[in-house]
Amino acid sequence: MTRVQVSLLVEAGPEAVWDVLTDPNYIPKLYPDLLNASVDPPGRAAVGQNRKFEARAGKRLIEIKTRVSEMVPLKKFAVTGRRGSALDTFLETVELEKVKGGTLVRILFEFKVSEAYFGPGFDLFALNQAAKLNEELFAKNLKELSELQDPKGR
């Protein structure tokens, strides 16, 4: 199992970070290799919401399935993997803490690429590294999207 931990300061309030985290329309922009997202039930994140993604692994399409598992408004957001996708196990926990100058965001990812899903002929190490890179870039993109300002607010 691969574990990625990232902490960063977002120069925006927890409300702005929470807005990005819980709006499924932002998902394809948060993870570089996720191409689209469908959620059930539709709309903003809620505990129990099922999420299905098409993503790319090199030049191949893959499927990832998750479920929103925990939400503490403006404080904690967690998603876990579901069976039958490219990741055997997946846990993503994002914790927010209001601090001077913005929001301290702590992100923890744990995942395992599914050997059974890919079958023989795939380089699991490369797949693992690609997944890890996506999780690291998730943090950078979350910061960038949360810090966007409206024209009128400038």
| Exposure string over 41-69, b if 16+ CB within 10 A, otherwise e | eeeebeeebebbbebebeeeebebbbbbb
How many chain residues bind another protein (CB under 8 A)?
29
Of 61 and 72, which has the nearer Cβ to another protein?
A: 61
Is 117 a residue that touches another protein (CB under 8 A)?
yes
From the list 70-78, 89-97, 100-108, 141-149, the region that binds another protein by CB under 8 A is: 141-149
The residue whose two tokens read 């876990």 is 80
Measured distance CA(31)–CA(104) in Å, rounded? 20
Token pair belonging to 33: 């290799």
Is 88 a residue that touches another protein (CB under 8 A)?
no
> Interface residues with another protein (CB under 8 A)?
23, 25-26, 28-29, 35-38, 42, 56, 59-63, 117-119, 122, 144-145, 147-152, 154
